[in-house]
Amino acid sequence: LTGEVFLQIKGPLEDTYKIYCYHHDDAHTMLESYEKDEELKQHLRDCVQSLKGKPNLMDLGSLLIKPVQRLMKYPLLLHELLNSTPASHPDHTLLQDALFAMKNINVNINELKRRKDLVLKYRKNDDDETLKEKFSRLNIHSISKKSKRVTSHLKILTRGEPQVKDQTFNKEEKLFQSLEKTVKLCVKNISLCLQHLQVGTGLFAICGHKPCLIHISSTGLVYTFQMAQLDKLVLTPLSALQALFPGPQKLIQKRYDKLLDYDSYRQRSAGEELDLAKKDYEALNAQLVEELQVFNRAAKKIVLNCLHCFISLLRNIMFAALQSNSAVVVPVPNQLIEEVHKLNFLKENSGATFIERKLSLEKKKPVPSPLESPRQTEDHRSKLLSTYSTESLYQAKRKCNAAQEFDIDLHEGELVAVVEQKDPFGSTGRWLVDTGILTGYVYSSFLRPYNPAKAQKDLHGKMWLHFSILVLVYVAFLFQVFYAVYAFQARSDQELSLQEYQRVRILRFSDLSGNKEWWLAEAKGQKGYVPSNYLGKMTYA
């Protein structure tokens, strides 16, 4: 029976066609790129020639579209069969079920394609847009939509109006945010560890005790090898993983946008607009739930593997250091300490001891803040453009602060010329650059190749950036609203107990002593201090 056959294969049929239709656009794009190469184009022409005689075959593109067209024809064919089959025939009911199943398969595949198109639309990098494209999106409709989102967001914050919730998404998003914070901290701290190890290897040259030279030389080689492994097996994978977070983060923000739109229309019971907003939200939410689970599993494995490697490499470095030094602990002779205390600048001028005076000085004299580095001017940029080739020129992607000796500060957008793509220790992560004012080292991850056309466009693009964040700045100024990422139990009257996901308003971002790890918060009329790392910002795009 025909209907029975379709019902038996509907599962494998949907899975197979779903993958094919999902990748059809990518295959067509790749085919177009292949046809630009004469050698590949001729090879494809030969392949098509060998298939001549097949019906309706003109080129490879028409061959690729056939499965997509065939899938859409199945409901039509089954409908014709159903009309031609008497109601008393045993296949009539099966054909009805098969027709319903094939229609559902088409709907599911169309929805999958729609989800993909939505992701591609919102994943588009804002840097790739021209100023004209940005202004073309600025119209009465877009301004009205943003104002409605702000209104919906404020209603949720002030009145506690109900929102559509997806527990699976909330769980995966929470894990995603935790992973992003973990990877960011790992990259930062392991980079500092690597820098300190590089500085430590330079100390071997200071020691001039000849019997130790053999141990020092061998230990230095071990250190160099272990640091190279640390960069290759730990820092490089974590840095690559860190670069993957902005894409999903942008889609998560868009998902919250669509949720605000959906809630707004749902309260007004709008017809077609409600259906469209619901479809957009559900499509983006389903795509994120599906892919966040895969991403989080892979990211956890990468982080754990990198941490295992990091611990193993540190253990090897410590073992090499212990092997190179004497196993006997020799105390510092008292005579040396007495000789140091006899120095004029260490003699006591009052009854206070050396340690007491040191502490009093530390209390009275705060550590001076580092001086602001000079800003780059147009004269400095012109000097770099005339002195160096375009291939040597790079721009700062974001502000970069000096982390160690011989490093220099860079401001976002400043132009630099790369003199050498490594530091004195051979690390390719720090480059020697010339800013037109200073010469020093910066991390290569803060730089991007200089693009003259994009640099000209950035000046005008700042106008758009300022406009885009005006509403957010206003809302953030009035409502410093955060939520509890984790539950917190107060241990004293000065602390504030919080439940998971509870909204709080931040009154001060530090305690009375200036410690930024504890924030003064208010919730349900009560005030108290809570750990800052237990809180997350109530986001709105």
Helix axes 452-478, 140-159, angle to 10 degrees: 30
Tell me the C-alpha distance between 457 and 128, whole Å: 11
Nearest C-alpha neighbor of 420 from the set 436, 395, 440, 437:
440
Domain covering 162-324 in this structure, CATH number: 1.20.1270.60
| 444 neighbors 431 (Cβ within 8 angstroms) | yes
397: confidence class by pLDDT, cuts 50, 70, 90? confident
79 or 374: which leads in pLDDT: 79
What value, to the nearest 5°, has the Cα angle with vertex 59 and ends 58 and 63?
Answer: 95
For the stretch 245-302, pLDDT in tens is 988 888 888 888 888 777 777 766 667 777 777 888 888 888 889 899 999 999 999 9
For the stretch 221-245, pLDDT in tens is 667 778 888 888 999 999 999 999 9
Q: Give yes or no on whether 2-123 and 378-454 have one common fold.
A: no
Tell me the C-alpha distance between 407 and 370, whole Å: 13
Token reading at 160: 């506690």
Second-level CATH architecture of 2-123: Up-down Bundle (1.20)
CA-CA distances (angstroms) from residue 44 to 50, 147, 433?
Answer: 10, 53, 48
Residue-averaged pLDDT of the chain: 77
User: Hey, is 64 helix, strand or coil?
Assistant: helix
Tell me the C-alpha distance between 352 and 358, whole Å: 10
Q: For residue 140, how far is the Cα from the chain centroid? A: 32
SS3 content of the chain, % helix, strand, coil (to 5): 65, 10, 25
From 134-143, 371-380, 442-451, the region with the lowest mean pLDDT: 134-143
| 2 neighbors 98 (Cβ within 8 angstroms) | yes
Domain ranges of the chain: 2-123, 162-324, 378-454, 480-537
For residue 301, what pLDDT is reported?
95
CA-CA distances (angstroms) from residue 440 to 400, 412, 416?
Answer: 12, 17, 10
- Domain 378-454 CATH assignment equals 2.30.30.40: yes
From 105-109, 122-126, 464-468, the region with the lowest mean pLDDT: 464-468
Q: What's the one-letter identity of residue 108?
A: N
| 441 neighbors 432 (Cβ within 8 angstroms) | yes
For residue 354, what pLDDT is reported?
39
Q: What's the one-letter identity of residue 276?
A: L
Mean pLDDT of 511-517: 83
For the stretch 341-377, pLDDT in tens is 667 665 554 444 434 334 433 443 444 444 456 788 8
From 58-62, 126-130, 175-179, 446-450, the region with the lowest mean pLDDT: 126-130
Residue 114's contacts (CB-CB under 8 Å, 6 or more residues apart) are 279, 283
Per CATH, which fold does 480-537 belong to? Answer: SH3 type barrels. (2.30.30)
Tell me the C-alpha distance between 485 and 53, whole Å: 65
Mean pLDDT of 482-505: 87
Strand (E) or helix (H) holding 518: strand 518-523
Q: How far apart are the first and last CA of the chain?
A: 54
φ, ψ (nearest 5 deg) of residue 508: -150, 140
| 313 neighbors 294 (Cβ within 8 angstroms) | no
Strand (E) or helix (H) holding 228: helix 213-230
Residue carrying structure tokens 């919102």: 122
Question: How many residues are listed for the chain in this entry?
Answer: 541
What residues form DSSP beta bridges with 443? 430
